[in-house]
Chains A and B, each alone.
Chain A
Amino acid sequence: MRFTKAIVPITLCILLLSLAVPAQKKGYAGKTRAVVSPIDTEALKGLLTQQRERPLLVNFWATFCDPCRDEFPDLVKIDKDYRPHSLDFVTVSLDDFTDIKTSVPKFLDQMNATMPAYLLNVTDPEPAINLVDSRWQGDLPATFLYNEKGEVVYKHIGRVNAAELRAAIEKVVSKKGDGQ
């Protein structure tokens, strides 16, 4: 009888704990926290030069960069409009590596950004910057659009003009998948 009496609160405690554990994995407002993966120069090279079936949009940014933050809502809209059927889109943060689990995913969550997110994990950013574009000085934000052949078909250093970027994307996305 005593055992039967005790099992009710124990069961309740277990039930409450089981609810609490997944909640810790969630961010604020109950949304899943964005996962930011580290990427080094070699991996970035692989990402940019690999054979692909769809055009690739890459945005380099950082949480400390005001124009990067300003343009992000536009990028999230573009991602939602195109990535489901006709475009690959990744972001590469140039924040400090220690921000990979803090300010970077926090900002992505605030933006409701769901595109694959990377953080450049290098001791020297210069080789990575040169790899992307030898004429790029590394100033942020920087946005590059590659076609299926891996050729840069559009680039913009500074806050992107959403209409201009959309026009560039429209030129390269496959019409086959549109509207699906």
Chain B
Amino acid sequence: MKTRNLSILLASLFVIAGAVFAAGARAEGEVPAPPAIGSTIDDFTLPDVDNKDRTLKSLAGKNGTVLIFIAVQCPVSNAYNERMAKLAEDYQAKGIAVIGINSNAAEDASAVKAHAAEHKLAFPILKDPGNKIADRLGASVTPEAYFIDPNNKLLYHGRIDNARNPAQLETSDLRNALDAALAGKTIEKTEAKAFGCTIKRA
């Protein structure tokens, strides 16, 4: 009986050690996995650039909301400033709100505010102290976009489009998703890998 218990213990230890080894070997970084397409994003509260608390619910559009993780210093995110401003302008009229989220620990609210003014980013931008929302959404880079419907169901996650350089634009994945949702059609591509600068977590 003792031998059997010992065998079970050793087998358990072996399995645990194997799992730990496998996890270590994966070494995927520390960013939590993003929520699956179709899952619901819970409401959250974050301070805006004037340190006033805002909820997702209060900023949401009647036809959906786009959350974009952005940065002040990232050249990739900055390459998208004009496109993000235009996106917000174009879809505000269609009932889709755009919200920027800055989760970079080294970029404070005043820097985010000055950057938004300089680049004419007219949509609300929230600071994410301690990158809690970036962690909840599994955001790893800037710019990285999430599109949720009026019930906060995640419909699209990933890049804004294929090209940092607008002259090489081929696929406007985010706009395609928004247009499909507005037309009541199925979104063909619900995920596209976002490429950009790693979010500098606290």
| A137 touching B194, Cβ below 8 Å | yes
| A125 touching B168, Cβ below 8 Å | no
A129 and B193 in contact, given A139-B198, A140-B198 (Cβ under 8 angstroms): yes
State whether the Cβ of B55 lies closer than 8 Å to any Cβ in chain A. Answer: no
| A126 touching B193, Cβ below 8 Å | yes
Tell me which residues from 114 to 128 in chain A have a Cβ below 8 Å from any Cβ of chain B. Answer: 123-126
A126 to B171, CA, bound (A): 11
| A67 touching B198, Cβ below 8 Å | yes
Stretch touching chain B among A5-13, A25-33, A46-54, A152-160 = A152-160
List the A side residues contacting B75 at CB < 8 Å: 64, 96
A123 to B169, CA, bound (A): 8
A156 to B200, CA, bound (A): 17
State whether the Cβ of A37 lies closer than 8 Å to any Cβ in chain B. Answer: no
State whether the Cβ of B30 lies closer than 8 Å to any Cβ in chain A. Answer: yes
State whether the Cβ of A150 lies closer than 8 Å to any Cβ in chain B. Answer: no
Tell me which residues from 139 to 172 in chain A have a Cβ below 8 Å from any Cβ of chain B. Answer: 139-140, 154-158
How many residues does chain A have at the interface if contact means C-beta atoms less than 8 Å apart? 24
A67 to B195, CA, bound (A): 16
List the B side residues contacting A96 at CB < 8 Å: 75, 79, 164-165
State the majority secondary structure of interface residues on B.
loop
Cβ distance B103 to chain A, nearest Cβ, rounded Å: 13
| B195 touching A158, Cβ below 8 Å | no
| A129 touching B76, Cβ below 8 Å | no
| A158 touching B30, Cβ below 8 Å | yes
A178 to B165, CA, bound (A): 45
Tell me which residues from 41 to 83 in chain B have a Cβ below 8 Å from any Cβ of chain A. Answer: 74-76, 79
A139 to B28, CA, bound (A): 10
State whether the Cβ of B192 lies closer than 8 Å to any Cβ in chain A. Answer: yes
Residues of A within 8 A of B (CB): 62, 64-67, 94, 96-97, 123-126, 129-130, 135, 137-140, 154-158
12 pairs, A vs B, C-beta closer than 8 Å: A65-B198, A66-B198, A66-B200, A94-B195, A96-B165, A126-B159, A126-B162, A126-B192, A129-B195, A138-B141, A138-B194, A155-B26
Residues of B within 8 A of A (CB): 25-31, 74-76, 79, 140-141, 159, 162-165, 168, 170-171, 192-195, 197-198, 200
